[in-house]
Amino acid sequence: MVGVTQNPLDDPNADSKAVARAAAEQLAIATGVARHELAFTLGSGWAKAADLMGETVAEVPATEIIGFSAPAVVGHVGTLRSVRLPDGRHALIIGARTHYYEGHGVRRVAHGVRTAAAAGAKIMVLTNGAGGIKSHWTPGTVSLISDHINLTADSPLEGATFIDLTDLYASRLRDVARTVDPGLDEGVYVQFRGPHYETPAEVQMAKAIGGHIVGMSTALEAIAAREAGMEVLGLSLVTNLAAGISDAPLSHEEVIAAGREAEARIGRLLADIAVRL
Ligand code: 8IG
């Protein structure tokens, strides 16, 4: 396409970690913050957390940083933010997730996480809006992610990279989150490719194989985070019951509305968790 800048990650010969290091360097210059100790990817409904966590030191359009692309979804924010927490640590806030369903490949999906690792982050907090399989969950419920099932049949890792995924969603960090809200439930996140929602039969399959949450983002990112040596905390905002769990058809507008309704409460929750991480 004329006038569209090439993303270096689309070059099959590109070294995705080198691109992430370059992105982290650009980010350090653009934000004036040399090192980010922790990082957050804010999915549907979670954007408010960034304002509540601390003082925004800098905000950069993601497209100004190498390897990032503009978000494909209305309601997603396309910026990278540096926020100073009350204790002086800096959090990198990634409001520009690239989803697998966009079809740009796993390197672009993993780029935010890899950039966070290259920027110094030891803890990666992955949040999302998702569908719930536990029938007692109401829209607006937050669940910790305890584990995942990756149904994309893909991996962000290249070559013979055999990475252990035991305790991928660190039980240590889930315990920290529960010191803020002891009532937080947890569940197994099942990543589908999307962008269509599941059929009720697929949701029943996800349930039968041990899933509690259905989504389109987090599993691949979590794998990349583990490869990069980060501890992962995963949080899902259940914006809707998964297809067939309730009789209601799913709509993106409803998902956005549930996110709006929940955003102040879950933003506060995440900000309170952040200072304890
Ligand atoms: I928000 O019901 C949201 N994201 N796969 N299924 C899947 N992703 C989702 C859903 C859902 N709701």
193, 204, 239, 260: which to mutate for ligand 1, most atoms within 8 A of CB? 239
H-helix segments, the chain: 16-31, 49-53, 106-118, 171-180, 200-208, 218-227, 252-274
Q: Tell me phi and psi for residue 259, to 5 degrees.
A: -65, -45
Residues 6+ apart with CB under 8 A from 263: 45, 46, 47, 48
Is residue 77 over pLDDT 70?
A: no
Torsion of CA 204, 200, 128, 155, to 10 degrees: 70
- Taking only the tens place, the pLDDT of each residue in 241-276 is 999 998 888 888 888 888 899 999 999 999 999 999
Range 148-172 average pLDDT: 96
Ligand 1: distance of its center to the CA of 111 in Å? 22
pLDDT mean across residues, the chain: 93
- Concerning whether 261 is annotated as a catalytic residue, the answer is no
131 — pLDDT class (breaks 50, 70, 90): very high
From the CB of 227, is ligand 1 less than 6 Å away?
no
Range 7-11 average pLDDT: 91
pLDDT value for 2: 45
Is residue 210 over pLDDT 60?
A: yes
Q: What is the fold, at CATH topology level, of the domain defined by 8-274?
A: Rossmann fold (3.40.50)
CB-based contact 226:165 (threshold 8 Å): yes
Domain residues of the chain, as ranges?
A: 8-274
Q: Which atom of ligand 1 is nearest to the CA of 237?
A: 1
Report pTM. Answer: 0.95
Which residue's CA is the nearest one to ligand 1's atom 11? 131
Rounded to whole angstroms, how far apart are CA atoms 257 and 251?
A: 10
Q: Which of 47-56, 117-126, 249-258 has the lowest mean pLDDT?
A: 249-258
